Structure 1
Amino acid sequence: MAESSETLLETPLASLHSELGGRMVPFAGYSMPVQYAAGIMQEHLHCRAAASLFDVSHMGQAELVGEGAAAALERVTPADVQALKPGRQRYGLLMTEAGGILDDFMVANLGDRLFLVVNASRKHVDLPYIQAALPAGVTLKPLPDRALVALQGPQAVAAIATLAPGIADLTFMGIGSFEIAGVKALVSRSGYTGEDGVEMSVPAEQAERFARALLALPGVQPAGLGARDSLRLEAGLCLYGNDIDETTSPVEAALTWSIGKRRRTEWNFPGAGRVREELANGAKRLRVGIKPEGRQPARGHTPIHAPGGAAIGEITSGGFGPTLNGPMAMGYVAPEHAADGTALDLMVRGKALAARVAPTPFVPHRYAR
C-alpha cells in the first residue's frame, strides 16, 4: 500500500526543497527530493564534474558515550571499533545472530564518544538493537535534532574550504568539528557517490541557513535521491534493502573487508559461525557487477540466467550510468558464474538481454586518500 502524504516525515530542509523546485517522493518514511528542475542526468554529471549538495537528514544519527563504548559496539558488529583512532571514521555492518546484515553504518571516534550514522529505513531497528547489547555505563543517545547534508564532487572540498580552511586537511574518512558560516558542524571526509566530498552533521534549526550558505558557493548545485542512487551504483556501493539485507551475509555481499583482522581471530560477533563457514567453504551466491550489452538497463528483481539456460540469480540494483554512458547493475549469482567476463542472460520482460559479469566500481573512486 502506498504511504499517504500525511504519514510522511519531513527533514529540516523541506521548505528549501520546495523553494528549489524539488520533486518530492516518499522514501524510508520521509518526503524527499528525487530531483530538481535540472533533472537526474544533469545532477549526476554535475556531481562528477563540480560539487552537489544532498540532503541526507533522514539518516539516523546517534552517539555512544561511556567507558568501553568501542568494545560494547563490537558486540553487534565485526568491525574493529577499538582500533579506530580519534578523528577517524569507519564503515561497518550490524549483524544478526543468523549471519545476516541488519544494516550497514558509519562509526567515528570523536575522542570522548563514538558517532554513528545508520540508514533511515533501519534506524527504528538498529538503535534498539544496539541499546539492548550495551553494558552498564555505556549510553546510546539518538540525535533526532540534527540534520545531515553531503557535499560531493571533485570541487566540493575546495569550495567548502573557503568557509573553513581546515577541512582541506582531512583525509578520506577523517572527521572533525568546524565552524562553517556561523554554524558548528561535525564534518567527515566521506560520502556515497564515489567522489571526494564531505558529510556534515549540524543542528536541525540551523540546517536551512547552513544549506543556503553552501548553495551560494561557486559550482555548488542541489541534487536529489535519483542522482544519489545512480552515483552510488556507478561506484559499486551497496544500498540496504536492495543489495544487502537480513538474508545476506558479508561473504555473499563481498563486504568481508569490513571485518577487522582481530575480529577474524576472536569470532565473537553475531553471525560469526556463518561468516567463518562461508569464508572456509564458499558462499552459495556472490554479489557481482553486471554490464548489459547494448543500451537497455535491467532493474532490480530481474532474473539472471545462464546463457540459454536455468536461473542462477537476480539483479538487486540496476539502471543507466550517466558517466559510464551505458547500463549497469549489481546482483547475486551462483559462485561458478561470478568470474569477471562470464556471459549472462538478463530476463527483461520475458526476453533474454545479453550481459557480462564486470568488475566494480563501474566508474573509478576518487577519494582523497
Structure 2
Amino acid sequence: MAETPAASCKRTPLFDLHVELGAKMVPFAGYEMPVQYPLGVLKEHNHTRENAGLFDVSHMGQAWLVGEDAAAALETLVPAELQALEAGQQRYTQLLNEDGTILDDLMVTRPVETEKQDRLYLVVNAACKDQDFALITEKLAGRAKLEIIDDHALIAIQGPKAVDATAAIFGDVVRTQSFMSQQVLPFEGKPCLISRSGYTGEDGYEISVPADLAEALSRAFINQDIVEPIGLGARDSLRLEAGLCLYGNDIDTTTTPIEAGLIWSIGKRRREEGGFPGASVIQKQIADGVERKRVGIQPEGRAPAREGTPVTDGNGNEIGKITSGGFGPTVGGPVAMGYVAASHKEPGTAIHLLVRGKEVPAKVVKLPFVKPGFYRG
C-alpha cells in the first residue's frame, strides 16, 4: 500500500520540536514522523539500550471506553481477561475477527482513580485507529461509549535510565511503579497518565500528556544528559530485537494469536469460556496445535533478511516467510522474525532463507534476541 504523501499528512503536537532537533521527517501511518535525528539510527538504538531514549508516539490512537460494564463489553471483541483488571493495571490484547485472526493489537488499562472505575483507557495502533474506533463504537453500542482522546499527546521514555529521567520530572514515586501499571501524576499542574510499559524491551514509561504541554515535557526529558530523542528507525530495530510484533508485518488478518506466540495474552477463563470473535478457532488451536508458528530467525553472515523473504528447509521446499528483519545493533548481526511450519519451530533448527534466488543458511532461535529490561520490582 502506497504511503500517504507528506503534504496530506497530519502532524503531532511535537512536529516543530522534531524539525528544530534536525529530524528527518517521513510519512508514517498518515502522519509526518521522525525516522531519525542527526545522531543516526545506530547510535539512537545503542543510546536507548544504554541510557534513555524519548519517542513521540502521539500518532497512536487514545480513547476512553465508558460504561458500567465496559470491561465485559470489550471482552466480546478481545480474548484478554479484562474484568479482573485492578485499578491501575494494564493489559495487552488483540481485536479479533470471526476467523480468530487479528484486526489490531492494543493496550487496555483500568484507571487508578476511584471515580473513573466506569471506564477503560485504550491505546491502539495509528494505522488502524479509525477502523478500530468505528468497530468498537458499532459493536458495543448500547453497552459502552467510546470517547476519543484527541487533546493529548503520547510520548515514551525507554531504556535502563528511563526511571532516572522520569523521576527527575515526576518524582521518585515512579521508581517503584510496577510493570504494566498506570498512575496519574501532574506536570505543570495538569494530570498525565503514566504507564510503565513500552515497545523496546527496556524499562520505561508511556506518558499521555495534554497536547499543550507535550513540548515542554519533551524538553524536560531531552535537557537531561542521559536522554536523546529517538526516531522510528531505531524504534523498529529495538522492538525487533525484543521480539515484539509489529501490526501489519508479524500479525494481521492472516494470523491468530496462537500462531503468533501470543497465547500468554489470553486469560485462562477466556480460553475456557470463549465469548470473543473466533473463540472456537482459538480453542481448537490451543487444544490441537497450529500448522505454523512465529519464531526468531538468525541468518548466518552479515546480510539482513527483509520482510517477505521465503524460508526453506534446505531442500528447496518453502516452509515459511520472514515478516520482520534487519540488523540488530545490540546483537551485532542480522535478526529476523517470521512464520515457519510447526515441524521447524524448535530453537536450533537449521533453515535457509531465499535471498535474491540464493539460499542463505540460518537457524531458528528463541525470542527475544536481547534480555528484557522490564522492571519487576
Using structure 2 for the length normalisation, give the TM-score: 0.96
Does the aligned pair in 2 maintain the 1:72–1:135 contact within 8 Å?
no
Residue identity matched to 1:48: R
CA distance in 2, matches of 1:13, 1:162: 21
**Cα offset, 1:137, TM superposition:** 4.9
Which residue in the other structure is 1:107 paired with?
Answer: 108
CA distance in 2, matches of 1:2, 1:255: 29
Of 176, 197, 204, the residue aligned with 2:183 is: 176
CA deviation vs aligned residue, 1:30-77 (integer Å, no higher than 9, x gap)? 111010001000000000000000000000000011211110110100
Say which SS state the counterpart of residue 81 (structure 1) adopts. Answer: coil
Does the aligned pair in 2 maintain the 1:304–1:344 contact within 8 Å?
yes
Of 111, 119, 130, the residue aligned with 1:124 is: 130
CA distance in 2, matches of 1:191, 1:60: 15
Using the TM superposition, name which of 158-167 and 169-178 deviates more: 158-167
CA distance in 2, matches of 1:195, 1:291: 21
CA distance in 1, matches of 2:139, 2:175: 37
Say which SS state the counterpart of residue 262 (structure 1) adopts. Answer: helix
Q: 1:272 to 1:137 in 2, by over 3 A?
A: closer
Say which SS state the counterpart of residue 169 (structure 1) adopts. Answer: coil
Identity of aligned residues (%): 55
Using the TM superposition, name which of 179-188 and 253-262 deviates more: 179-188
CA distance in 2, matches of 1:150, 1:106: 14
Question: Are 2:65 and 1:58 aligned?
Answer: no
**Cα offset, 1:227, TM superposition:** 0.5
Say which SS state the counterpart of residue 109 (structure 2) adopts. Answer: strand
Question: Are 2:243 and 1:236 aligned?
Answer: yes
Structure 1 residue runs without a partner (length 5+): none
CA distance in 1, matches of 2:188, 2:359: 54
Say which SS state the counterpart of residue 128 (structure 2) adopts. Answer: helix
Which residue in the other structure is 1:13 paired with?
Answer: 14
Structure 1 residue ranges (4+ consecutive) displaced by more than 6 angstroms after TM superposition = none
Residue identity matched to 1:160: T
Say which SS state the counterpart of residue 339 (structure 1) adopts. Answer: coil
CA distance in 2, matches of 1:350, 1:137: 54
Question: Are 2:311 and 1:304 aligned?
Answer: yes
**Cα offset, 1:307, TM superposition:** 1.1
CA deviation vs aligned residue, 1:267-286 (integer Å, no higher than 9, x gap)? 11101111112122221211
Which residue in the other structure is 1:154 paired with?
Answer: 160
**Cα offset, 1:2, TM superposition:** 4.5
Say which SS state the counterpart of residue 175 (structure 2) adopts. Answer: helix
Say which SS state the counterpart of residue 104 (structure 2) adopts. Answer: strand
**Cα offset, 1:218, TM superposition:** 3.0
Which residue in the other structure is 2:324 paired with?
Answer: 317
In the alignment of these two chains, the number of paired residues is: 369
Using the TM superposition, name which of 37-46 and 110-119 deviates more: 110-119
**Cα offset, 1:99, TM superposition:** 0.8
Cα RMSD for the two superposed structures: 1.1
Question: Are 2:144 and 1:138 aligned?
Answer: yes
Say which SS state the counterpart of residue 190 (structure 1) adopts. Answer: coil
CA deviation vs aligned residue, 1:162-189 (integer Å, no higher than 9, x gap)? 2222111211011011113544211000
CA deviation vs aligned residue, 1:69-116 (integer Å, no higher than 9, x gap)? 110110100100001100111101111111110111000000512100
Which residue in the other structure is 1:281 paired with?
Answer: 288
CA distance in 2, matches of 1:246, 1:110: 30
CA distance in 2, matches of 1:129, 1:97: 13
Residue identity matched to 2:324: S
CA deviation vs aligned residue, 1:104-147 (integer Å, no higher than 9, x gap)? 10000005121000000100111111112215252110112211
